[in-house]
């Protein structure tokens, strides 16, 4: 068996079997993770994480072969909270939670079947596997805002006048927009992963390792801000002949590569010598465990792995599956029209049902109020309500509409939700806006989540409450409600929207 020492053959076979069972039982979770690797360039680096982890384990083979694997079943107790976390995450359609849990289960099987000492010696390769989880997209809006802030400040500091609205701005030679691709999230993810690996391979002390990881976090952030500024300046100084097309992406990656090379060259100056192979610890058990012991641990592991999917299937069986039928309510003094009041369409992917139109006052004496309802049922990956891809405006695909402001509003109405998420949208490309921009169509929008009868503003609270209801067998019905009006008619402090919601809670 690949010239493996005899004491390792049965434990490794058992580990392979449990990993195979894990892959079969949690196939959808693993497949969703791989799908994101393929779809998103931000997480394309995750493809190399498993082979790198395997190579890191291979480097420590001399430290492992001196051990005799001993199962440590106490590690299986961790499967209970991990299984619960996976169940709650799956019910809430929280992909990161289920995927972190999947990797956690895979890692826990190593000390459970090979022993605590063996797992300790390969702790970093096992921990490195967590870089395979697509996590961190939630930082993109913040990174976009900070990149836009730095770029505008740097332009003004170098004498370039700037008119900014949201994350779009105009300079004398043209208009620019800081979108998700400019956020630097790809640089950050790649730098943290490679920087962590570099620190592990080159340093022996934890203080030096953590210091270098800190540098690997800060460096891509600052580098991306400088990159964005230099791209805009290249376009500005060249009369928009340079850095306005695909070439600005190339310049960005070349600049990032140079910065990373400098960072690693400087870091290598303080590299430590390779450690000597570790002998077996004194007093270690050198006799293999009995087959009966192995069988008991394997059976317990298999049962614990199978429990969460079984509970998930039970919760799914009790949920409603019929497609929802949406209809506008009859409101006194208002007439419903099924055509939206503008060309704006909220970017919420794959709802089970949609209601989008407007209420017009029957006395014809006031402005219309737009309504959008996106209803979700039987939520799964790609068709869930609360996710980073669902937003009022998708800046990557929407060319006309842009979100220029956001916030929260409090509403003092007995039967209406007390808190709402607010936004202002502009319905014209910034490059086409003239004067002070007041002629561009603008909307004031209020948003709320409806989770099986209860309103929420917070994403994570909505997810957790939805998961709890699903766990109780009450289904996962949820919706997003957007109420909007033309900004010119919104009034002071969105008085038009406040009045409409107060009278029609």
Which CA distances in Å does 326 have to 355, 447, 450? 6, 18, 14
With tokens 């969460």, the residue in question is 308
Rounded CA-CA distance 130/27 in Å is 17
Rounded CA-CA distance 324/385 in Å is 15
pLDDT attached to residue 320 = 56
- Residues of the chain with pLDDT below 70 are 1-2, 243-249, 277, 279-286, 316-321, 364, 428-439, 505
> What are the sequence ranges of the domains in the chain?
6-134+287-317, 138-268, 334-503
pLDDT attached to residue 319 = 58
Q: Which two tokens stand for residue 176?
A: 């620019």
Rounded CA-CA distance 185/140 in Å is 6
Q: Which two tokens stand for residue 342?
A: 């503008």
Please give the full DSSP string across 215-244, using - where no structure is assigned. HHHHHHHHHHHHHHHHHHHHHHHTTSSSSS
What is the rounded (10 degree) CA torsion for 388, 392, 394, 398? 170
pLDDT attached to residue 1 = 47
Rounded CA-CA distance 335/316 in Å is 39
CB-facing half-sphere around the CA of 310: CA atoms within 13 A: 6
**Nearest alpha-carbon partner for 25 in 309, 315, 316, 313:** 309
**Considering just the CA atoms, what is the radius of gyration of the chain in Å?**
28
Please, what is the angle between helix 291-317 and helix 79-91, to 10°? Answer: 20
**Nearest alpha-carbon partner for 19 in 418, 302, 349:** 302
Q: Which two tokens stand for residue 188?
A: 């950050």
């Amino acid at each position: 068996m690949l010239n493996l020492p005899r004491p390792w053959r049965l434990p490794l076979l058992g580990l392979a079997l449990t990993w195979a069972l894990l892959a079969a039982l949690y196939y959808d979770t693993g497949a969703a993770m791989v799908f994101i690797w393929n779809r998103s360039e931000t997480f394309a680096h995750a493809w190399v994480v498993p082979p790198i982890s395997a190579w890191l384990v291979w480097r420590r083979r001399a430290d492992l072969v001196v051990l005799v694997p001993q199962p440590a079943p106490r590690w299986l107790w961790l499967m209970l909270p991990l299984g619960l976390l996976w169940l709650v995450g799956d019910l809430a359609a929280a992909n990161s939670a289920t995927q972190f849990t999947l990797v956690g289960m895979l890692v826990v099987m190593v000390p459970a079947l090979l022993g605590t000492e063996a797992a300790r010696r390969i702790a970093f390769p096992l921990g490195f596997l967590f870089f395979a989880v697509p996590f961190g997209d939630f930082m993109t809006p913040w990174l976009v805002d900070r990149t836009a802030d730095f770029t505008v400040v740097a332009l003004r500091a170098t004498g370039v006048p700037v008119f900014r609205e949201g994350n779009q701005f105009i300079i004398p030679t043209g208009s620019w927009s800081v979108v998700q691709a400019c956020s630097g999230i790809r640089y950050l993810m790649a730098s943290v992963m490679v920087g962590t690996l570099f620190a592990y391979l080159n340093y022996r002390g934890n203080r030096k390792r953590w210091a270098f990881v800190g540098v690997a976090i800060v460096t891509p952030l600052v580098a991306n801000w400088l990159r964005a500024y230099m791209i805009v300046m290249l376009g500005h100084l060249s009369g928009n002949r340079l850095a306005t097309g695909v070439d600005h992406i190339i310049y960005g990656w070349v600049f990032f590569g140079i910065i990373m090379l400098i960072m690693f060259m400087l870091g290598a100056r303080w590299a430590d010598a390779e450690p000597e192979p570790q002998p077996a610890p004194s007093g270690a058990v050198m006799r293999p465990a009995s087959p009966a012991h192995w069988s008991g641990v394997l059976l317990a592991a298999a049962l614990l792995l199978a429990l969460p999917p079984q509970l998930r299937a039970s919760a799914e069986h009790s949920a409603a599956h019929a497609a929802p039928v949406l209809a506008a309510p009859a409101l006194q003094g208002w007439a419903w029209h099924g055509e939206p009041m503008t060309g704006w369409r909220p970017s919420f992917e794959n709802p089970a049902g949609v209601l989008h139109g407007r209420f017009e006052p029957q006395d014809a004496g006031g402005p219309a109020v737009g309504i959008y309802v996106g209803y979700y049922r039987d939520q799964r990956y790609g068709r869930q309500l609360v996710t980073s891809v669902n937003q009022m405006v998708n800046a990557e695909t929407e060319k006309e509409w842009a979100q220029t402001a956001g916030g929260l509003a409090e509403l003092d109405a007995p039967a209406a939700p007390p808190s709402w998420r607010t936004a202002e949208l502009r319905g014209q490309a910034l490059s086409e806006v003239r004067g002070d921009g007041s002629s561009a169509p603008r909307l004031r929008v209020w948003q709320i989540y409806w989770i099986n009868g209860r309103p929420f503003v917070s994403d994570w609270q909505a997810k957790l409450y939805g998961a709890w209801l699903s766990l109780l067998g009450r289904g996962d019905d949820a919706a997003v409600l957007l109420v909007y009006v033309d900004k010119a008619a919104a009034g002071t402090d969105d008085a038009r929207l406040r009045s409409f919601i107060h009278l029609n809670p």
